[in-house]
Amino acid sequence: MVDQLAFTQENRERIQAVENSFGPSGMSLIRPDRVLIGEGRLMKLCRRRPQPKVFFLFNDILVYGSIILHGRWHKKQHVISLEDIQLEDLEDGVIMENQWLIRTPQKSFYVAAASAEEKRAWMEHIEDCRCKQLQHAGCQPGCTFATTWIPDRASAICMRCSKTFTVNKRRHHCRRCGFVVCNACSKNRAVICHISTKPVRVCRLCHLSLQDHGELTQDEVHLRGDSDGRNCSDESDLVMPEYEATSDDEANERVEHHAPSNWVECHNSWSPFNYLKPDHQSLNLTGLSSHLT
């Protein structure tokens, strides 16, 4: 009983520390049946280049965000239910080694670990927690996922009209196919339910495809962005589907070579995956609620 009470208090303090690190803009993470499994830094492929992000694995959710202020504070908190996640193992790429794909309904993205061993640990334990959470909740895994965006640097031309991108001819992304396209080829807007309840940018071919399949409302058939290729429901309102690689964000991030919190010791910006308690490796969700109450 003493050990159980000590574990409950220790676990709560750790979750509170994660919650506090995101400041007032972050979501509340404390729940009676939630356990913090581990944390570490992974490289996430953003629009312009890979960036280090801090990831926290819980028994029911995956949380990640940007690293600021000597790694002790984080911003842009993203919370993903493990039931909604699908992992895909990938070979080493030109840009990142030890990478894999994380698919979710609202956003799919590539991440990479510092080593093959760390990659295997993350993938195995995300999948293990996901399977146990699905079993505990008695639900089926999701089957609708957002398309991964093609990185900006992968194409110097619009992938629809083949015109070269310039300072004035900027890159955009179709939310349906993930292609890098120019504004002229992506003026249309459509609601993609698993991404947003508001209209988002789609390229002309995807717009025609949606129209042919009867997936557009009458208003959406003619809905377009303004002269800048945006409307009231485009990039400015879509926090979750967006990538974080704006020039301001890159300038503001200050990644240091030590731990993102004071209770996990790491020695570089690619910290290894950390188990916070050995028992977490064989976590039994069936009796989890009674164990933590």
Q: Which two tokens stand for residue 17?
A: 């520390």
Closest CA to 175 of 253, 99, 108: 108
Cα distance between residue 175 and residue 242, in whole Å: 10
Q: What is the 3-state secondary structure (H, E, C) of 74-112?
A: EEEEEEEEHHHCEEEECCCCCCCCCEEEEECCCCCEEEE
Q: Are 244 and 76 in contact (CB under 8 A)?
A: yes
CA distance 152 to 56: 27
Q: Compute the mean pLDDT over every residue in the chain, rounded to the nearest whole number.
A: 77
The reported pLDDT for the residue numbered 70 is 65
Tokens 């619009």 — which residue? 158
* Residue 118 one-letter amino acid: E
Residue 80: how many CA atoms within 13 Å on its side-chain side?
30
124: pLDDT strictly greater than 70: yes
- Cα–Cα distance between 293 and 279 in angstroms, integer? 17
Judged on CB neighbours under 10 Å (0-12, 13-18, 19+), 251 is: exposed
Contact call for residues 71 and 256 (beta carbons, < 8 A): yes
Spacing of C-alpha 102 from chain mean position: 7
In degrees and rounded to multiples of 5, residue 275 shows phi and psi of: -85, 130
* Chain centre to alpha carbon of residue 248: 19
Distance between CA atoms of residues 145 and 101, nearest Å = 12
Q: Between residues 47 and 124, which one has the greater pLDDT? A: 124
Q: How far apart are CA 15 and CA 28, in angstroms?
A: 10
**pLDDT interval class at 47 (50, 70, 90):** confident
pLDDT value at residue 112 = 95
Of 85-94, 108-117, 216-225, the poorest mean pLDDT is in 216-225
pLDDT at 127 over 70: yes
Question: Using one digit for the tens of pLDDT, what is the confidence trace for 232-290?
Answer: 344 433 333 333 333 333 333 333 333 333 223 333 444 556 665 444 444 333 333 33
Please report, rounded to a whole number, the percentage of residues in the chain having pLDDT higher than 90.
Answer: 48
For the segment 141-189, what is each residue's pLDDT rounded down to a tens digit?
777 889 888 888 889 999 999 999 999 999 999 999 999 999 999 999 9
**Torsion angles phi and psi, residue 182, rounded to 5:** -85, 170
- Would you say the C-alpha torsion 202, 46, 40, 253 has a positive or negative sign? negative
Q: How far is the C-alpha of 77 from the C-alpha of 175, rounded, in Å?
A: 21
Residue type, 189: R
The two three-digit tokens of residue 141, written as one number: 């895994």
Q: Are 269 and 33 in contact (CB under 8 A)?
A: no
Structure tokens at 95: 């840009």
